[in-house]
Amino acid sequence: MLHEIYPNVFNNRYLNSQDIKDDDFILIYKNNSILLVKYNSSFIIPQKKDLINLIAFNNFTFAFSLNENSCFIVYETFDLSNDFKWEDIFALRYNSIKEIAWIGNVGHQLFNWYGDNKFCGRCGEKTEKKDTERALICKNCENVIYPKISPAVIVAITCKNKILLAKGHNRKINYYSLIAGFVEIGETFEEAVKREVKEEIGLDITNIKYYKSQPWPFSNSIMIGYFADGDDSQKISIDKSEILEADWFSFDNLPNHSPNLSIAGEMIEYLKQNNNY
């Protein structure tokens, strides 16, 4: 999956660091794109030494660390040469260097969070970064704001040798995937699984079992994966505001579906390879 970058080590411990070293990674974003630098035949996230003569490094924020290198969000832009390019965040996750894809996307999640919380939601005053932890504080009303992480559930529903797959409205994702949705206030993960399946495709499910989880920076969420049993004799009734189409597919004849970068793709392949249905 996207976050599994071993033997590289991702460390999100917050440091109040004001010292950017030459080998530290520099995360520069513009809307939904990230700045990359040419490296051999591909493009990667630049380090300070790649930008030292191009920007002043006057406005930056520590994000996290990759191995021994700190990663900083830098709020500066410059005129690009052929050695640099803007890469769409969604496309970045397919970068062949997995650790580059991961830190670029998690950095974008933090970039958006800082940008969305420049002012206090309680009193409207300007916020400031806390020195001791990754948080923003309003000095006027003492409101402390932490990064938003929304829990979401995703479920692989099987019946005999078939799996229920659906296609949603997201134009960037032209493939089938699993049923998923955000957890509502006051419900358990398992209750959310049942509700989402009933709402989106009209089916009742049983034997809900936990699989594993995956942080997913694209929606500020943590995906909680489950397996469940379905009944292919029940009528599928899709919620057309969420789902374009849904159907049962044999594991011997699966349509184009989620890649292994996501928990959805891993769960589908896990069931297919292990005959766990």
pLDDT cut 90: percent of the chain above it: 89
State yes or no: pLDDT of 170 exceeds 60: yes
Rounded Cα distance, 1 and 163, in Å: 20
The average confidence (pLDDT) of the chain is: 94
- Structure confidence by residue, pLDDT tens digits, 124-140: 999 999 999 999 999 99
The 10s digit of each residue's pLDDT in 172-191 is 778 999 999 999 999 999 99
Position 274 scores a pLDDT of 86
* Token output for 58: 């006057």
Q: What percent of the chain has pLDDT over 70?
A: 99
The pLDDT of residue 169 is 81
User: What is the rounded CA–CA span in Å between residue 110 and residue 116?
Assistant: 10
Closest CA to 49 of 19, 83, 22: 22
Q: Which pLDDT does position 18 carry in this prediction?
A: 81
CA pair distance 161, 221, nearest whole angstrom = 31
pLDDT, tens digit (0-9, with 9 covering 90-100), for 68-102: 999 999 999 888 888 999 999 999 999 989 999 99
Decide: helix, strand or coil at residue 216: strand
Kindly tell me if the per-residue pLDDT of 276 is higher than 80: no
Q: What is the mean pLDDT of residues 257-275?
A: 93
pLDDT at residue 277 above 70?
Answer: no
What is each CA distance from 63 to 12, 32, 76, 133, in whole angstroms?
7, 17, 16, 11
Element (H, E) at 164: strand 162-168
Residue-level pLDDT at 31: 87
pTM of the shown model: 0.92
What pLDDT does 180 receive? 96
Residue 197 predicted with pLDDT over 70: yes
Predicted local distance difference test score (pLDDT) of residue 39:
87
**Least confident range of 41-50, 103-112, 149-158, 204-213:** 41-50
The reported pLDDT for the residue numbered 156 is 98
Give 28-72 pLDDT, tens digit per residue.
Answer: 999 899 999 998 888 999 999 999 999 999 999 999 999 999 999
